[in-house]
């Protein structure tokens, strides 16, 4: 039994690591070449009004912008800046918060739009706006902190000089290979460990600890059904919510409470499963701090939204 779990976890972790690494490294290479050819200077000109007002290190803007394309790539850029000692630990944490809205926005077109809206309709749109709203608040917090902690020194970027494209491509390729040697093994190990813990029921036990919370809220029983379905699988919870809405067994407000409450009850295991492997592989010990700070702020905001929905009489 245990041998079968280990083999399956190895296979799944290997497949996911290969798939993710290929995508990340290709995009990372493109972004790195873009920056080395003067792309960051171009972006700095476009966002110069914002940069002047916020007084943020221009290199950190590249991480935030990259998150609109790929959150993993955005954090990878941030990791490289931190490893090269171009930014401080406080700047990393603040930027991780600032990356929230771009990251959720990127997720909108891969999950929210094609799945949530068709199934939940107007309720789905409200749910998306809530998720984007939470992310936007975190981004505002991050930008505020960056305005305080971000280095005010002028960053040296490629100026108006001839750039050897061949050397630039070669330099970027070597940089990505070096980055891959650190990223791939660590990510594989973390994904394998998380997969093992998931299969032996560790995360299921963790979520059951929070069960007493639901009994104190006096919620529609179907809300609890949505919550525990989301603990197992988010997409299944969306599909179940759609079915309950169509049958008139639950209101739109109750669906929102169920989905957000499910996110609250699974926040620890979800961050451990999805965020921790990436952040630890990129930032080492600092990755734990990044995950905890982001998780706690998201948790607080979600609880506030749930309280507002519960006492909102509609």
d(CA 294, CA 101): 12
Closest CA to 295 of 275, 309, 281, 280: 275
The b/e string for 66-78 (b: 16+ C-beta within 10 A; e otherwise) is bbeebbbbbbbbb
**What is the Cα–Cα distance from 124 to 146, expressed in whole angstroms?**
33
The C-alpha atoms of residue 96 and residue 98 are separated, in whole angstroms, by 5
16/292 Cα distance (integer angstroms): 24
| Residue 241 near residue 226, CB atoms below 8 Å | yes
3-state DSSP assignment of residue 202: helix
pLDDT of residue 150: 77
The confidence score (pLDDT) of residue 48 equals 53
Distances (CA, A) of 11 to 7, 16, 192, 272: 6, 9, 9, 20
Q: What is the pTM of this model?
A: 0.67
Domain boundaries, the chain: 2-156+165-311
**Residue 157: per-residue pLDDT:** 43
Q: Where are the alpha helices (DSSP H) in the chain?
A: 2-34, 40-46, 48-54, 58-69, 71-83, 89-98, 100-107, 117-120, 122-149, 165-199, 202-208, 211-216, 221-232, 234-246, 252-265, 267-270, 276-283, 285-311
The pLDDT tens digits along the chain (314 residues) read 678 888 888 888 788 778 767 876 776 677 677 766 765 556 556 655 665 577 777 778 878 888 877 788 888 888 888 888 888 899 999 999 999 988 888 777 666 776 788 878 899 999 999 999 999 999 999 999 988 887 655 544 444 445 567 777 888 788 778 778 876 786 677 667 767 876 777 646 644 665 666 567 666 677 877 887 777 667 778 877 887 787 777 888 889 998 988 877 766 555 666 677 778 888 888 888 888 888 889 889 988 998 888 877 55
Separation CA 243–CA 48 (nearest Å) = 48
Place of tokens 């199934």: 119
């Amino acid at each position: 039994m245990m041998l079968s779990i280990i083999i399956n976890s190895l296979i799944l972790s290997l497949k996911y690591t290969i798939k993710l690494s290929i995508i990340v490294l290709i995009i990372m290479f493109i972004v790195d070449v873009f920056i080395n050819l003067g792309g960051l200077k171009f972006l700095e000109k476009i966002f110069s009004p914002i940069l002047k007002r916020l007084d943020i290190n221009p290199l950190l803007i590249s991480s935030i912008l990259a998150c609109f394309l790929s959150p993993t790539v955005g954090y990878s850029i941030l990791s490289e800046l931190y490893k090269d000692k171009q930014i401080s630990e406080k700047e990393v944490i603040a930027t991780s918060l600032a990356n929230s809205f771009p990251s959720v926005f990127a997720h909108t077109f891969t999950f929210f739009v094609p799945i949530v809206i068709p199934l939940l309709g107007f309720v789905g749109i409200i749910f998306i706006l809530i998720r984007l709203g939470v992310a936007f608040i975190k981004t505002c917090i991050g930008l505020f902190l960056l305005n305080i902690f971000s280095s005010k020194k002028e960053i040296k970027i490629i100026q108006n000089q001839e750039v050897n494209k061949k050397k630039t491509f070669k330099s970027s390729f070597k940089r990505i290979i070096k980055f891959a040697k650190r990223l791939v093994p660590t990510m594989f190990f973390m994904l394998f460990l998380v997969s093992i813990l998931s299969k032996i029921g560790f995360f299921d036990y963790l979520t059951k600890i929070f069960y007493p919370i639901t009994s104190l809220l006096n919620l529609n029983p179907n809300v609890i059904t949505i919550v525990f379905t989301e603990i197992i699988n988010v997409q299944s919870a969306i599909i179940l919510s759609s079915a309950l809405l169509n049958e008139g067994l639950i209101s739109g407000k109750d669906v929102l409470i169920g989905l957000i409450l499910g996110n609250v009850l699974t926040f620890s295991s979800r961050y451990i499963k999805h965020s921790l492997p990436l952040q630890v592989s990129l930032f080492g010990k600092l990755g734990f701090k990044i995950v905890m700070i982001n998780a706690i702020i998201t948790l607080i905001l979600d609880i506030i939204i749930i309280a507002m929905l519960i006492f909102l009489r509609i």
